């Protein structure tokens, strides 16, 4: 879970968590929806969007218009 009292921004914590899940193989294929991730981690959809944008910029995930986000191969 994310630490809402941490000095580290929530989007950064979520990026780190998802990055580790991708690198360890726990997360592969299609990434859950922004809304699902927001509910699961108790953050706003904007926080999730910012985290996914970071991972996309790093090349760890790709966005498919109308289909969602997927882990890069």
36 CB burial (10 A radius; 0-12, 13-18, 19+): exposed
**pLDDT for 12-64, tens place per residue?**
999 999 999 999 999 999 999 999 999 999 999 999 999 999 999 999 999 99
Domain boundaries, the chain: 10-71
Which residues neighbour 6 within 8 Å (Cβ) at sequence distance 6 or greater? 13
The model carries a pTM of 0.92
Q: Which residue has the tokens 């959809």?
A: 45
Q: Which residue has the tokens 């969007």?
A: 49
Question: What whole-number distance in Å separates Cα of residue 24 and Cα of residue 45?
Answer: 25
For the cut 90, the answer to whether the pLDDT of residue 73 exceeds it is no
Between 2.60.40.1120, 3.30.56.10, 1.10.10.10, 3.30.1490.20, what CATH number should domain 10-71 receive?
A: 1.10.10.10
């Amino acid at each position: 879970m994310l630490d809402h009292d941490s000095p580290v921004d929530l989007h950064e914590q979520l990026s780190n968590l998802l990055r580790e899940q991708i690198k360890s193989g726990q997360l592969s294929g299609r990434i859950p929806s922004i809304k699902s991730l927001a509910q699961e981690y108790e953050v706003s959809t904007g926080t999730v969007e910012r985290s996914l944008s970071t991972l996309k910029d790093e090349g760890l995930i790709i966005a498919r218009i109308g289909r969602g986000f997927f882990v890069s191969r």
